[in-house]
Amino acid sequence: MAERVTQEPDRQEREAQAATSAVPSAGSDGQPVALQTEAHGQKPAAGTREAIYDLDDVGVTYGSVPAVREVTFPIYQHEITALIGPSGCGKSTLIRCLNRMNDLIPAASVTGKVSYHGQNLYDDEIDPVQVRKHIGMVFQKPNPFPKTIYDNIAFGPRVLGMDGNMDEIVESALRRGALWDEVKDRLKTNAFGMSGGQQQRLCIARALATSPDVILMDEPCSALDPISTGRIEDLMLELKENYSIVIVTHNMQQAARVSDRTAFFIVDLKGEESHRIGHLVELSPTEKIFTNPDDQRTEDYVTGKFG
Amino acid sequence: MSAVPEAGLSRKVVERASSGQRTKDLMFRLALLFSVSVGFVVLAALVLDVMIDGASRVSLDFITSFPSRISPESTGVKSALIGTIYLMVLCAVFIVPVGVATAVYLEEYANRDSRLSRLIEVNIQNLAAVPSVVYGILGLAFIVRGPLGLGPVLLAGALTLGLLVLPVVIIVSREAIRAVPSSIREGSLALGATQWQTIWKQVLPGALPGIATGVILALSRAIGETAPLLVIGAATFARFNPEGITDRFTAMPLAIFEFISDADTEFRAAGAAAIIVLLALLVVMNAGAIFLRNRYERKW
Amino acid sequence: MEATSAGATGAPRPDLYRTRTRRSTGEAAIRYALLAAALVSVLTTTGIVFSLLEETVVFFGDVGVGEFLSGTKWTPLAGGESQSFGVVPLVFDTLYLTGIGLLVAIPFGIGSAIYLSEYASPRVRRILKPVLEVLSGVPTIVFGYFALTFVTPEILKGLGLEVGSFNALSAGLVLGVLVLPTIATVADDALTAVPGSLREGAFGLGASRMQVSVRVVLPAALSGVVAALVLGASRAVGETVIILVAGGQKADLTLDPTVAMQNMAAFIAAASRADIPTSGPEYGAIFAVGTTLFVMTLVLNAISIRFVRKYRQVYE
């Protein structure tokens, strides 16, 4: 746990900022007190978990083409929530709403409410840069920067102006990313020289270095071999002790192996122009989804009848 | 476009693919080869012609002596070479920030469909096609006289040439910026970096080799330009070096122009020698650009 | 930003709201600074138009628009009675010189393009294309020197032609070589954009490479090739120094390529160096001719952009 100490000042500072913020947040009244007292890093008893996200009737359209509609579900702290469904069901689109990465696509527009700790992320007053500071993301294809391993990790802390010994921050992040032992002797070599699996773990470690609260993973293993995939799944299980994780995957086994809760999406044709629009079928504990789902379509999908 | 002449390739053609057709094919091929060789033959002839006329005049004395109106044997290009180097540096100071900033704005900030960015884009396209002599008129009316009123000095020359080659820098820089994969931007933004931090620390370093190549190409075009400098009234003959950016100046193309326009054709050898000096400078710059491209260009 | 301990160790409720930090103000400032830089190019165009029009309007006060556009005698720098501002000969000479240039540049430029895109192996292409680009990077003053000291005395006179030391033929031919690479590279881009499937279809019918090139690829890329030609023409129309050095200093209405000719750009350069008062119509003529040249190249450029768009629409 030694490495956790190094991130403590940053966390405190952030809280201090939050406490002194002049702008009262819209959802502050509805925020349960329990959340404030829940010890960070301590696994709360099952069933008493707090929702960090509350999605309320969320829809995304690209230009005039709808991609996903009417999504309502909560995401709980210190859990792994998997989003599964056939391709085109909007699960990748949806996960990109959770840290406002959709902003990068000018034509994308989001309706409904994506509440994060009671604050609607799509409020006019919300700063997407602040959002992404708290909510890290790992992408489908490993995307290390064309820099050294060290600089890849240090990039986030540097741009955020984090205090502390950079060497320690880097080491701590690489340890948490289960990569330290493999790369500690070549921190100053280019990250492009790593294997695909190592690159992806580097990207995870890079996200951890800025001490986020949530990590979003958009099909993080789709470009990796089974062994690398296994290592990343192990890593995810370790990380959920301290972080909340949302993962998009089209690998059902992966969802079954790692996630606590699974949201199943489906795509259907809508309207005269037959747009393919995704929507949520059900969100349940993973075990239930795979053994005794509420919806027939979920059962058909997980048993391989379609998709 | 839709009427791709498949009809022209009717059966008749196919059946006649005989010896007549083969001769025609061969002739066509030879004609094409001849076409390609025209460019090369002229390039070779041009270089040879200049070498034969001027090589014997190129010497250290030639580049360290001021020009002379009387003696073709002792004339030199000192003031012109220094003027050209000053122009190049000043021009770079102007076009690098403005050109790269424009490219960054258009690629990273502007909404592609907004009227403003379309206006800017069409405008740059058109500017790239405006004859250089017209930039000379702009320089004359706006920079040398008129609002800025600088007179025909180094700064005026550098600004005029800078405006002339700015589209080159913008176009090449945009390509280089576009070549940086969006996954790099996403990775950076997802870590909480601001847009500018992402551009400054990830996009621009990735685009740097391409941008540098573009800047060198633009500068090599700028220092070869004659017409705009003639129009703004820069000296073609100067027995002095510019000492500051508000001093009068001359430049290599102008010195060449002066040498070869002289009624005394004895000066043409000096003109050829000056051309050799200018071409050597351009070769060094282009070699630098190629080196940069090969050494640092990233395969994403 | 004092890091006062917040005491609570619970999961934070992060502050995600926009605040006016130095970071966010900086971001906004940078955006405007970049926009300002982007506007430099718009200002350049505005500046060009203003600088041309201001003096042109004054000029047309002295010399009527009709006299300028329809007069057939162009002697603006001559004194007294013989001074005349009819731009027709100057425009004619400009087009005539461009025409000679295009006679060289079109066949050889398109021939080069076809060779590069349809015949050359990738390796040969990788060598040939940069050399063509080198040719287009040679300063035009060097081409001027070449026309004046080699093409006129060695080639034209060598062939027994009775040409003056300044003549349209030499200047025009070298002008053609100058724009050849432009035409070749732009046309090559258009030809290579034609999808391979079209070629394969024709080869499948038993067509020879020549037939494929001339009857399938060239027509399919026609708008792109036309764009290349127009671009080349626009460059030839605006070229200054070759004509100034090798073409001569007077513009007459003549079809004789062996005598001196001047184009609009060369007139601008020559007149701006001449010892003329900055208030008279001689000075204004520089701007009036500049305006004419600017409009001509603008039109040519607009046409070429049109054609480029057309072929991009088809294949991209």
Question: What CATH code is carried by the domain that includes residue C142?
Answer: 1.10.3720.10
For the cut 90, the answer to whether the pLDDT of residue A36 exceeds it is: no
- Residue A216: its H or E element: strand A214-218
Q: Which is more confidently placed, A137 or B71?
A: A137
Residue C16: which pLDDT band, with cuts at 50, 70 and 90?
A: confident
Residue B113: which pLDDT band, with cuts at 50, 70 and 90?
A: confident
For the cut 60, the answer to whether the pLDDT of residue C85 exceeds it is: yes
Q: A11 — contact with chain C (CB < 8 Å)?
A: yes
Third-level CATH fold of A50-144+212-302: Rossmann fold (3.40.50)
Neighbours, chain B (3 or more CB pairs < 8 A): A, C
For the cut 80, the answer to whether the pLDDT of residue B149 exceeds it is: yes
- Asked if B237 and C273 count as a contact pair (C-beta separation under 8 A), the reply is no
* Domain-located, residue C179: yes
Mean pLDDT of chain A: 82
Q: Closest to B130 (Cβ–Cβ): which among C210, C294, C304?
A: C294
For the cut 90, the answer to whether the pLDDT of residue B160 exceeds it is: yes
- CA C57, C62, C66, C67: dihedral to nearest 10 degrees? -140
Name chain C contacts of B24, Cβ cutoff 8 Å: 210
Task: State the pLDDT at residue B100.
Answer: 97
Cβ contacts of B193-198, under 8 Å, gap ≥ 24: B193/A129, B193/A155, B193/A156, B193/A159, B193/A160, B194/A129, B194/A159, B194/C23, B194/C24, B194/C27, B195/A129, B195/B108, B195/B109, B195/C27, B196/C26, B196/C27, B196/C30, B197/A159
Query: What percentage of residues in chain A have a pLDDT greater than 70?
Result: 82
Least-confidence region, from A27-31, A234-238, C124-128, C291-295: A27-31
Q: Closest to A146 (Cβ–Cβ): which among B186, B194, B206?
A: B206
For the cut 80, the answer to whether the pLDDT of residue B284 exceeds it is: yes
**Which residue in B108, B180, B191, B200 has the most chain A C-beta atoms within 10 A of its own C-beta, making it the best mutation to test that interface?**
B191
Between helices B268-296 and B252-261, what is the axis angle to 10°? Answer: 150
**Per-state percent for chain A, helix, strand, coil, to nearest 5:** 40, 25, 35
For the cut 50, the answer to whether the pLDDT of residue A67 exceeds it is: yes
Give the DSSP per-residue string, B134-192.
Answer: HHHHHIIIIIISTTT---SBHHHHHHHHHHHHHHHHHHHHHHHHHHS-HHHHHHHHHTT
Task: State the pLDDT at residue A272.
Answer: 61
Distance of residue C12 Cα from the nearest chain A Cα, in angstroms: 6
Alpha helices by DSSP H, listed for chain C, are: 22-62, 65-70, 88-114, 122-137, 140-146, 168-192, 196-204, 209-211, 218-220, 222-238, 241-242, 264-273, 281-315
Q: A264 — contact with chain C (CB < 8 Å)?
A: no
For the cut 50, the answer to whether the pLDDT of residue B222 exceeds it is: yes
CA distance A215 to A240: 9
For the cut 60, the answer to whether the pLDDT of residue A11 exceeds it is: no
- Residue A53: its H or E element: strand A51-62
What is residue A44's DSSP assignment?
Answer: P
Cα C110 to its chain centre, rounded Å, is 17
Residue A58 φ/ψ region, left for φ over 0, alpha for ψ in the -120 to 50 degree band, beta for the rest: beta
Say how many C-beta atoms besides its own lie within 10 A of residue C122's C-beta.
Answer: 6
Read off the tokens for B148.
Answer: 């800025």
- Which residues lie below 8 Å from residue A275, measured CB to CB, with a gap of 6+? A65, A66, A269
Burial of C32 from C-beta contacts in 10 A (0-12 / 13-18 / 19+): exposed
Structural domain containing residue C133 = 80-315
Read off the tokens for C229.
Answer: 């030609």
The number of C-beta contacts closer than 8 angstroms across A and B is: 70
Task: State the pLDDT at residue C8.
Answer: 34
For the cut 90, the answer to whether the pLDDT of residue A66 exceeds it is: no
SS3 C283: helix
ipTM confidence: 0.89
CA distance B126 to B114: 19
Burial of C95 from C-beta contacts in 10 A (0-12 / 13-18 / 19+): middle
For the cut 60, the answer to whether the pLDDT of residue C243 exceeds it is: yes
How much is the average pLDDT of A268-292? 82
How much is the average pLDDT of C99-113? 96
* Domain-located, residue C53: no
Closest to B8 in 3D by CA, of C194, C198, C197, C216? C216
What is residue C12's DSSP assignment?
Answer: P
Which pTM does this prediction carry?
0.85
CB contact under 8 A, C142 and B46: yes
- Which residues lie below 8 Å from residue B22, measured CB to CB, with a gap of 6+? C208
Name chain C contacts of A14, Cβ cutoff 8 Å: 12, 14-15
Task: State the pLDDT at residue A307.
Answer: 54
* Domain-located, residue C283: yes
CB contact under 8 A, A130 and B191: no
Task: State the pLDDT at residue B289.
Answer: 86
How much is the average pLDDT of C54-70? 91
Task: State the pLDDT at residue A37.
Answer: 36
- Asked if A218 and A96 count as a contact pair (C-beta separation under 8 A), the reply is yes
Task: State the pLDDT at residue B68.
Answer: 86
CB contact under 8 A, B1 and C201: no
Say how many C-beta atoms besides its own lie within 10 A of residue A41's C-beta.
Answer: 13
CB contact under 8 A, B133 and C208: no
Mean pLDDT of chain B: 89
- Asked if C132 and C105 count as a contact pair (C-beta separation under 8 A), the reply is no
Closest to B92 in 3D by CA, of B297, B273, B288? B288
Task: State the pLDDT at residue A15.
Answer: 44
For the cut 60, the answer to whether the pLDDT of residue C5 exceeds it is: no
Closest to A190 in 3D by CA, of A199, A181, A178? A199
- Asked if C211 and C183 count as a contact pair (C-beta separation under 8 A), the reply is no
For the cut 60, the answer to whether the pLDDT of residue C11 exceeds it is: no
- Asked if A73 and A280 count as a contact pair (C-beta separation under 8 A), the reply is yes
Q: What residues are paired with A115 via a beta bridge?
A: A54, A120
Cα A110 to its chain centre, rounded Å, is 18
Query: What's the domain count of chain C?
Result: 1
Burial of C273 from C-beta contacts in 10 A (0-12 / 13-18 / 19+): middle
Report for A1-5, A117-121, C76-80: range of highest mean pLDDT: A117-121
CA distance B52 to B269: 9
In this structure, what are the phi and psi dihedrals at residue A52, rounded to the nearest 5 degrees? -90, -35
Read off the tokens for A162.
Answer: 């984090």
Is the CA virtual torsion B152, B158, B160, B161 positive or negative?
positive
Please report, as a single letter, which amino acid is at residue B253: P
* Domain-located, residue C244: yes
CA distance C212 to C203: 7
Alpha helices by DSSP H, listed for chain B, are: 11-15, 19-54, 60-64, 78-104, 115-127, 132-138, 154-179, 182-190, 195-198, 204-224, 227-232, 252-261, 268-296
- Residue A232: its H or E element: helix A226-239
Least-confidence region, from B127-141, B159-173, C34-48, C268-282: C268-282
CA distance B84 to C56: 32
CA distance C215 to C213: 6
For the cut 70, the answer to whether the pLDDT of residue C4 exceeds it is: no
Place of tokens 């002295």: C62
Task: State the pLDDT at residue A48.
Answer: 57
Q: What residues are paired with A268 via a beta bridge?
A: A277
Please report, as a single letter, which amino acid is at residue B9: L
Task: State the pLDDT at residue A306.
Answer: 67
CB contact under 8 A, B186 and A101: yes
How much is the average pLDDT of A250-264? 91
